[in-house]
């Protein structure tokens, strides 16, 4: 079910699985597609249009992933600091690879402001694909235990092991 709210401080977008050439071809054809819709675009508010174009370009750029991972059918949650409402996100400073970084955290639980939004782990998570890695069985077992602790009833059915071979 699609929901529109800025209470979370994020927007979500599906990952796009394509190769580099396709990405650049889409970007090259964008101006022509805008010109082809020039009449319609003249009718819309310029502030709304610039906002939507910015959002679309950001989402398209951030949502790229190699087509070899298409089995994942991943979605990403995005926030642009200073551009989006902070919503229920929590700001913190953490060491990332030894360097202090500002981070935003979204608790995977339904906030009291919108209790039926559907972002708790049991509601949000469809499946976990483990691998390719050296010890996929042990990692999969660990994920099942964590999901069970989080209240996911069919945890074992949601964890699968990728059949993509491990490259060393």
Confidence tier at 33 by pLDDT (50, 70, 90): very high
| The pLDDT value given to residue 128 | 94
152 compared with 2, residue with greater pLDDT: 152
Phi, psi of 152 (to 5 degrees): -80, 115
Alpha-carbon span 83 to 51, nearest angstrom: 10
* Mean pLDDT of all residues in 26-52: 92
Average pLDDT of the residues of the chain: 89
Give tens-digit pLDDT for 118-160: 888 888 888 999 988 889 999 999 999 999 998 899 999 999 9
User: What are the residue ranges spanned by the domains of the chain?
Assistant: 11-109, 125-168
Measured between alpha carbons, how far is residue 60 from residues 51, 63, 136 in Å? 14, 5, 31
Alpha-carbon span 86 to 6, nearest angstrom: 8
pTM for the whole thing? 0.69
Alpha-carbon span 149 to 119, nearest angstrom: 16
Alpha-carbon span 135 to 32, nearest angstrom: 49
Q: Which two tokens stand for residue 128?
A: 């976990």
């Amino acid at each position: 079910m699609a929901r529109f709210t800025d209470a979370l401080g994020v927007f979500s977008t599906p990952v796009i699985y394509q190769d580099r050439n396709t990405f650049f071809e889409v970007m090259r054809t964008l101006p022509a597609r805008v010109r082809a819709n020039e009449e319609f675009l003249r009718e819309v508010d310029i502030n709304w249009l610039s906002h939507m174009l910015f959002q679309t370009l950001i989402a398209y750029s951030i949502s790229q992933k190699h087509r070899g991972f298409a089995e994942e059918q991943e979605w990403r949650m995005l926030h642009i600091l200073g551009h989006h409402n902070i919503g229920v996100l929590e700001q913190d400073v953490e060491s990332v690879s030894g360097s202090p970084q500002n981070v935003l955290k979204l608790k995977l639980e339904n906030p009291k402001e919108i209790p039926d939004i559907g972002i708790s782990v049991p509601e949000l998570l469809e499946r976990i694909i483990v691998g390719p890695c050296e010890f996929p069985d042990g990692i999969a077992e660990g994920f099942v235990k964590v999901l069970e602790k989080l209240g996911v009833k069919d945890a074992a059915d949601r964890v699968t092991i990728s059949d993509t071979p491990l490259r060393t």
